[in-house]
Amino acid sequence: MTPPASASLRLHPSTARAYRCTCGAQVFFRNNTCLQCGRALGFDPWLGQVLAIEPDAEPGVWHAVAPQGSESGDAPLQRYRRCAQMGTPALCNWLVRDDGSIGAADCSCVACRLNRVIPDLGLERNHEPWRKVELARRRLVSQLIGLGLPVEPLSEDGGPGGLVFDTLVSLPGQAQVLTGHAQGVITLNLAEADDAYREQVRSQMREPYRTLLGHYRHEVGHHFWDRLVRNDPCLQGFRALFGDEQQDYAAALNAHYQQGAPPGWSGAYISSYASAHPWEDWAETWAHYLHMRDTLDTAVSFGMAPDEVDVDALHYLPSVLQEEPSPEAEVFLAMLNAWTRLTAVLNELSRSMGLPDFYPFVLSDTVVRKLHFVHGRVEPFERTT
């Protein structure tokens, strides 16, 4: 069957992932200097672009270099400052838009402002893991902004809606730091940045996939459940698909760790852990949705066209959603079908390298409906951006 055209996806990734310096060289999300021309680079999260920048006459202020051959015109130049965390092991390359009111002293970018507790950077052993954590966190935040989702820091009084990150180190003789979310606070155990540790836990827990970015996408899913579902009319729809979240959370998790996932769990859940409790099901599904969106955006940004690969992949028809057809559902299905085609090829590429599958998941019809439910919560933000 011929897949439906997904031209809009091909032309408009929500989060651009391929960038070029004004000299024409390809540059990357993490770069702060162009290796070809030596220009300084910075990421503007609101534009979603890595920009070549040059210093203004005023110390500490930068502006974007005009692309070669462009007319600069009379438009005032956007003033930028570099994030204060660029000079730290975080190596943050993000830019802060300066309306003239920001001083150099407290100039953290939108992503770094969300950090509340960070590891002791006086200890050199924390530098490398912190760099990895921060790169993953910036990737997360850039995608949330690209999708139009709110990313405001948690207020001092802990009022609803805000978000902060605590990155903690487990100390001998003290309780192990648990990665998790509670009322807008996302806690990460810094040990998760250690590949050997993370792989050991992944293997013990029999997880097919465990990464820093995956942790962040899962935990921020709990935050967005609070924001987008808890007090929303969609709560009934949520319960119909994911189950009643009012069941005892601690008891449900305990039962999951004692007995494991129910037989046949993959017919209804994206992962075995998702079967533990409706909140975990939501967080796992939400994380998966963000994986799909970012990876597809990356493929599209680099000019890949999933519709044009010669592969027989799973193809979902509108009937899978069990609801009236709508333009929104059409966009979702086009994205999902592009995704199954892309990942079918990526898995073959992994096998050619003798690596584990790039995408070790199969999406059952129920999981597709859950992903569609997540899409329905995100899409209104995207539309108004």
Q: Which of 107, 114, 268, 283 binds Zn ion (CB under 5 A)?
A: 283
Q: Among the candidate windows 9-17, 86-94, 124-132, 209-217, which touches Zn ion by CB under 5 A?
A: 86-94
**Binding of Zn ion by 92 (CB under 5 A):** yes
Nearest approach, Cβ of 77 to Zn ion (angstroms)?
A: 19
Cα 125 from Cα 218, distance rounded (Å): 27
C-alpha–C-alpha distance, residues 251 and 265, integer Å: 19
- What is d(CA 160, CA 154) in angstroms, rounded to the nearest whole number? 8
For Zn ion, which stretch binds (CB under 5 A), given 87-95, 162-170, 186-194, 367-375?
87-95
36 counts as binding Zn ion under rule CB under 5 A: yes
10 vs 222, which CB is nearer to Zn ion?
222
What's the one-letter identity of residue 64? A
For residue 312, what are the contacts with CB-CB under 8 A and spacing of at least 6? 344
Q: Which stretch binds Zn ion (CB under 5 A): 69-77, 139-147, 280-288, 352-360?
A: 280-288
Min dist. Cβ of residue 109 to Zn ion (A): 3
Q: Which residues contact 246 (CB under 8 A, 6 or more apart)?
A: none
In the complex with Zn ion, which residue's Cβ is closer, 61 or 344? 61
- Nearer to Zn ion by Cβ, of 25 and 345: the residue is 25
Residue of the chain from 19, 80, 94, 242 that contacts Zn ion (CB under 5 A): 94
Conformational region of residue 103, where left means phi above 0, alpha means psi within -120 to 50, and beta covers everything else = beta
Q: Binding residue for Zn ion (CB under 5 A) from 34, 118, 190, 367?
A: 34
Please identify which residue in 85, 179, 272, 340 interacts with Zn ion, judged by CB under 5 A: 85
Minimum Å gap between C-beta 325 and Zn ion is 33
Q: What SS3 class is residue 244?
A: coil
Per-residue contact flags (x/-) with Zn ion for residues 224 to 263, judged by CB under 5 A = ----------------------------------------
Residue 106 vs residues 45, 55, 112, 163: alpha-carbon distances, Å: 18, 19, 11, 19
Running DSSP on this structure, what letter comes out for residue 245? T
Residue type, 39: R
Give the interface segment with Zn ion, choosing from 42-50, 61-69, 102-110, 342-350 (CB under 5 A).
102-110
Minimum CB separation from Zn ion for residue 384, in Å?
26
Among positions 18, 37, 66, 345, the unique one binding Zn ion when judged by CB under 5 A: 37
- Identify the residue among 109, 220, 228, 276 touching Zn ion (CB under 5 A): 109
- In the complex with Zn ion, the residue whose CB is nearer, 216 or 359, is 216
Give 276's contacts (C-beta < 8 A, 6+ positions apart): 252, 253, 255, 256, 261
Task: Give the residue from 198, 204, 290, 274 showing the smallest Cα distance to 242.
Answer: 274
Q: What whole-number distance in Å separates Cα of residue 360 and Cα of residue 281?
A: 17
| Burial track 15-54 (b if 16+ CB lie within 10 A, e otherwise) | bbbbbebbeeeebebbbbebeeeebbbbbbbeebebbbbe
In the complex, the smallest distance separating the C-beta of residue 237 from Zn ion, rounded to whole angstroms, is 21
Give the torsion through C-alpha atoms of 265, 266, 270, 275, to 10 deg. Answer: 0
Interacting span for Zn ion (CB under 5 A) from 12-20, 38-46, 57-65, 232-240:
38-46
Judged by CB under 5 A, the stretch of 13-21, 228-236, 336-344, 349-357 that binds Zn ion is 13-21
Q: How far is the CB of 326 from Zn ion (least distance, A)?
A: 30
Distance set, CA 211 to CA 215, 217, 291, 348 (Å): 6, 10, 11, 21
DSSP β-bridge partners for residue 327: none
Q: Which of 181, 180, 167, 182 is nearest to 132 (CA)?
A: 167
Q: Count residues near Zn ion (CB under 5 A).
A: 15
384: phi then psi, degrees, rounded to nearest 5: -95, 0
CB of 113: closest distance to Zn ion in angstroms?
A: 8
Residues near Zn ion (CB under 5 A) are: 21, 23, 25, 34, 36-37, 39, 83, 85, 92, 94, 109, 112, 280, 283
